[in-house]
């Protein structure tokens, strides 16, 4: 076959879809993914399963790094300060990342402009648990104990100014009770502390579910819109009259300035993994809400939700300085 003239070859290349030209075989090496929580929880398992399936389409594995601490912001800090916008470093993105710059006078990041929003996935299933042998059989019982012993009843969360901490403080304010807040870096640490009688309660995501199912812990209330299929006898905050639904939607983000075609390549693979039967079965098993949004929709939601976060921080006069 005679060679294609240079001018004609250029026209043929120009006619190809833009992603086919600019992706350049992305990805051609493993993708690093940062999880800002300890390994072993429900979310950790969800992400690892999602990436195992997405890797089949992308042809490259995801290398997982857990970086707990600093209210879940260490992964975001790495994206902003060290990661290149080439698509090979991504992180779990959650509301504490958005809230952090609003809580400190020190410069950290712009929650919108300093990240590339790739896909929103799900949300946390929060609830309040106590030991099964405790005398508290309802949320009202817990409040009564807190009133009788101000700042003597302890509850754990994953960090100061996290979504579950703020929601718990709002509940305490409404009930006019004072409880002592204890921070644990990981959900498993908090569970061990509760089972070991070092604290009285946990206000956190449903890593507690297996211990509730086994009879070690008692679930007093859930913060979802509807009751959980796994625990149909446990009321929601809405049912108890608080008018609150707390799920703290989360997703996947990269550093600022990622190429749109790389974002879309990742988004397509991650979306297909998200709706894979194995991932959907996992979500149903743990009552995880489906909060899927694509890149543009996820960014638009973040821009709108930032206004809510700013109002919340002002109203509660929050600061971590």
pLDDT at 8: 38
In a 10 Å sphere around its CB, with 0-12 CB exposed, 13-18 middle and 19+ buried, how is residue 13 labelled?
A: exposed
- Inform me whether the pLDDT recorded for 282 exceeds 70: yes
Report which of 160, 7, 41 is spatially closest to residue 168, judged by C-alpha positions: 160
In a 10 Å sphere around its CB, with 0-12 CB exposed, 13-18 middle and 19+ buried, how is residue 232 labelled?
A: exposed
Task: Name 252's Cβ contacts closer than 8 Å, sequence gap at least 6.
Answer: 90, 91, 92, 93, 118, 119, 121, 266, 270
Quote the percentage of the chain above a pLDDT of 70. Answer: 92
Residues 260 and 128 sit within 8 Å (Cβ to Cβ): no
pLDDT at 321: 64
- Inform me whether the pLDDT recorded for 277 exceeds 90: yes
- Inform me whether the pLDDT recorded for 3 exceeds 50: no
pLDDT at 10: 40
- Inform me whether the pLDDT recorded for 60 exceeds 80: yes
pLDDT at 312: 77
DSSP 72: G
Confidence of residue 1 (pLDDT cuts 50, 70, 90): very low
Residues 286 and 45 sit within 8 Å (Cβ to Cβ): no
Mean pLDDT for 79-104 is: 94
Per DSSP, the chain holds a count of helices (H) and strands (E) of: 12, 11
- Both structure tokens of 104: 């400190």
pLDDT at 24: 58
Q: Cα(80)–Cα(72) distance, rounded to whole angstroms?
A: 14
- Inform me whether the pLDDT recorded for 272 exceeds 50: yes
pTM, 2 dp: 0.76
Mean pLDDT for 182-194 is: 90
pLDDT at 71: 77
Q: What are phi and psi of 92, to 5 degrees?
A: -65, 130
In a 10 Å sphere around its CB, with 0-12 CB exposed, 13-18 middle and 19+ buried, how is residue 130 labelled?
A: buried
Q: Cα(103)–Cα(100) distance, rounded to whole angstroms?
A: 5
Helix, strand or coil, per DSSP, at residue 293:
strand
Q: What are phi and psi of 12, to 5 degrees?
A: -65, -40
Residues 27 and 88 sit within 8 Å (Cβ to Cβ): yes
Beta bridge partners of 34: 65, 91
All domains of the chain, ordered by start, with CATH? 29-123+249-316 (3.40.190.150), 126-222 (3.40.190.10)
DSSP assignments along 238-285, one per residue: TTTT--------EEEEEETT--HHHHHHHHHHHHHHHTSHHHHHHHHH
Residue-level length of the chain = 321
In a 10 Å sphere around its CB, with 0-12 CB exposed, 13-18 middle and 19+ buried, how is residue 100 labelled?
A: buried
Quick: pLDDT tens for 191-227: 999 999 999 999 998 889 999 999 999 999 999 989 9
**Angle, CA 284 vertex, CA 280 and CA 289 arms, to 5°:** 90
């Amino acid at each position: 076959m005679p060679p294609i003239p240079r001018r004609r070859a250029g026209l043929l290349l120009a006619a190809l879809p833009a992603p086919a030209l600019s992706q350049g075989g992305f990805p051609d090496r493993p993708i690093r993914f940062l999880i800002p929580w300890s390994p072993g929880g429900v979310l950790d398992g969800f992400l690892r399963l999602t990436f195992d399936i997405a890797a089949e389409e992308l042809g490259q594995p995801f290398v997982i790094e857990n970086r707990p601490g600093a209210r879940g912001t260490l992964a975001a800090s790495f994206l902003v300060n060290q990661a290149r916008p080439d698509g090979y470093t991504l992180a779990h993105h959650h509301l504490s990342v958005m809230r952090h710059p609003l809580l400190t006078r020190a410069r950290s990041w712009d929650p919108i402009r300093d990240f590339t929003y790739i896909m929103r996935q799900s949300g946390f299933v929060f609830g309040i648990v106590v030991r099964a042998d405790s005398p508290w059989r309802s949320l009202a019982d817990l409040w009564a104990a807190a009133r009788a012993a101000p700042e003597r009843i302890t509850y754990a969360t994953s960090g100061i100014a996290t979504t579950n901490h703020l929601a718990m403080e709002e509940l305490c304010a409404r009930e006019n009770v004072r409880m002592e807040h204890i921070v644990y870096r990981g959900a498993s640490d908090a569970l061990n502390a509760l089972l070991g009688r070092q604290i009285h309660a946990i206000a956190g995501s449903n890593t507690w579910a297996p211990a509730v199912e086994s009879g070690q812990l008692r679930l007093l209330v859930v913060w979802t819109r509807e009751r959980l299929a796994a625990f149909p006898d446990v009321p929601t905050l809405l049912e108890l009259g608080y008018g609150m639904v707390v799920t703290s939607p989360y997703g996947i983000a990269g550093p600022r300035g990622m190429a749109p075609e790389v974002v879309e390549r990742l988004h397509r693979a991650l979306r297909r993994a998200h709706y894979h039967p194995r991932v959907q079965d996992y979500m149903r098993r743990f009552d995880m809400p489906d909060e899927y949004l694509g890149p543009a929709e996820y960014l638009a939601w973040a821009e709108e939700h930032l206004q809510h976060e700013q109002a919340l921080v002002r109203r509660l006069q929050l600061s971590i300085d």
